[in-house]
Amino acid sequence: MVEELTQAESAVVACADTAAWALPADDLVAALDATHRIEQRLAAVKLSLIRELDGRGTPVAQGASSTAVWLRERLHLTVPTARRLVDLAAALDSGNPGVRQALADANITLDQARVIADTVDTVGSTAGAAVADKAVGVLVEWAGQFDPTLLRKLSMRILDHVAPELADAAAKTALEAEARRAVRDRHVTLSTLTDGRLRLTGTLDTETAGLLRAAIDPLTAPSGPDDQRSPGQRRHDALADLCRLTLRTGELPEHGGEVAQLVVTTSFDGLVGQLDAGTLDTGLGLTPETVRRLACDAAILPAVLGGGGQVLDVGRQRRLITGALRRALVLRDRGCAFPGCDRPPRWCDAHHIHHWADGGDTSLANAVLLCGHHHRHIHHGDWTVRLAGDGRPEFTPPAWLDPDQLPRRNQYHRRT
């Protein structure tokens, strides 16, 4: 086998050295088709080799903790990718010769083989080997027409085609098995990056996925015609809004005798002068602009620090814009006051028009409701806000957006 694979590798190298631009269109298409077929045939060979190595225990004998880890080191794969290869190799070796042969014949792709193997395993356990064999034939035929995603959707009703008398009962069993698998595989991982950001990855079970979408989807729509955020950025900001709302309810479990809270440390001079960065209790840094924005709707806890940063004395919290004052603010603004925004009050922060750290007072005449997105916009952008003569907030755009800088108001909440 090694000699044959070496010859095949030499042929591929020769193809890689061929100038594709010199080929006519028909030859390009034919070469692409041939490349695709070879890729699937080699995938079948690769899975066969992985299965044999795994069965012999060669990776463990060479010091690896598992075959997947060994593949990661040898082939520079991620562990999840390597594990999927090991699992698929085992599945094709145990009771799925038809799937393995279809891959070797280049009638299906590796991803389609994974879908078919999963489906056939389920069919075999619920309807028997004979029905599973029939399912392989149908699924391989479908694979010639549909991509892996659509093939998986169709495969959920495979028994309707190969054993209709068993379909309803099997569908119930499969649904229960899928629910158990979803609960088993559920996880969320929070990975702190070197620059302080957080990478969020994971898999939610069906119910939790529904809850998240129900909560986050209404917040992901563009906030207006000037909203330049990408869909991914809007989802990020919607998640932040959800967290703010949850923290604001005060219904989270206490941690160390305190309600759940975001703790930011900065110097008073830095807060007033907009010069110093802040530090989260996790040790990660925040820009001065972010510190001042968070301070708008926060509990300020004065503390006297020694030269080495040790706490010498701690004062009482100074709560800002809560209770009756916030209720009055909600009655006036009815939601985010930024022009064109439709965010309701519960998604909004109370922003000091003249910042508290700059001597601004905590009063209705110095406050405005802003959603998380527009709160950042005001702090980091060139817009300004003031209360007009009638006591309603109005916003002045930057000159590059409107040379006349005519004040704008949010008319949405007045119409609803």
Give residue-wise pLDDT tens across range 222-275: 777 777 888 889 899 888 888 877 776 666 554 434 444 556 666 666 555 554
Residue 280: pLDDT band (50, 70, 90) is: low
By percentage, how much of the chain surpasses pLDDT 90?
16
Average pLDDT over residues 310-332: 63
Q: Is the pLDDT of residue 24 over 70?
A: yes
What residues have CB less than 8 Å from 227, skipping those under 6 apart?
234, 373
Handedness of CA 240, 243, 249, 254 (dihedral sign): negative
Quote the pLDDT of residue 179: 76
> Could you give the 3-state DSSP secondary structure of residue 135?
helix
> Could you give the 3-state DSSP secondary structure of residue 198?
strand
Residue 279: pLDDT band (50, 70, 90) is: low
The CA-to-CA distance between both ends of the chain, in Å, stands at: 74
Per-residue burial over 112-140, b if 16 or more Cβ lie within 10 Å, else e, is bbbbbbbbbbbbbebbeeebbbbbbebbb
Quote the pLDDT of residue 326: 81
Nearest to 410 by CA among 390, 383, 389, 392: 392
Q: Where are the alpha helices (DSSP H) in 57-191?
A: 58-61, 67-75, 79-93, 97-104, 110-127, 129-143, 148-155, 159-162, 167-185
pLDDT, averaged across the chain: 80
Position 209: which residue type? A
229-237, Cβ contacts within 8 angstroms, sequence gap of 24 or more: 229/373, 237/372, 237/373
Query: How many other CB atoms sit within 10 Å of the CB of residue 199?
Result: 9
Quote the pLDDT of residue 318: 46
Interval 134-181: pLDDT, tens: 888 898 889 888 899 999 888 888 888 878 877 777 667 767 777 788
Quote the pLDDT of residue 313: 43
Identify the residue whose tokens are 């930024």: 338
> How far is residue 245's CA from residue 373's CA, in Å, rounded to a whole number?
14
Average pLDDT over residues 278-306: 58
Residue 44: pLDDT band (50, 70, 90) is: very high
Q: Which residues partner with 373 through β-bridges?
A: none
Q: Is the pLDDT of residue 390 over 70?
A: yes
Interval 78-108: pLDDT, tens: 888 899 999 989 988 876 778 888 889 999 8
Note the Cα 319 to chain centre separation in Å.
Answer: 34
Average pLDDT over residues 187-193: 86
Quote the pLDDT of residue 289: 66
Identify the residue whose tokens are 């028994």: 159
Average pLDDT over residues 295-321: 49
E-only strand ranges, 233-310: 264-265, 278-280, 285-286, 299-300, 303-305
Quote the pLDDT of residue 128: 82
Quote the pLDDT of residue 309: 47
Position 17: which residue type? D
Residue 210: pLDDT band (50, 70, 90) is: confident
Quote the pLDDT of residue 337: 92
DSSP characters for 28-53? HHHHHHHHHHHHHHHHHHHHHHHHHH
> How far is residue 210's CA from residue 281's CA, in Å, rounded to a whole number?
32
> How far is residue 201's CA from residue 191's CA, in Å, rounded to a whole number?
8
On the 0-12 / 13-18 / 19+ scale of CB atoms within 10 A, 240 is middle
Token couple for 393: 């907030």
Quote the pLDDT of residue 100: 86
What residues have CB less than 8 Å from 122, skipping those under 6 apart?
174, 177
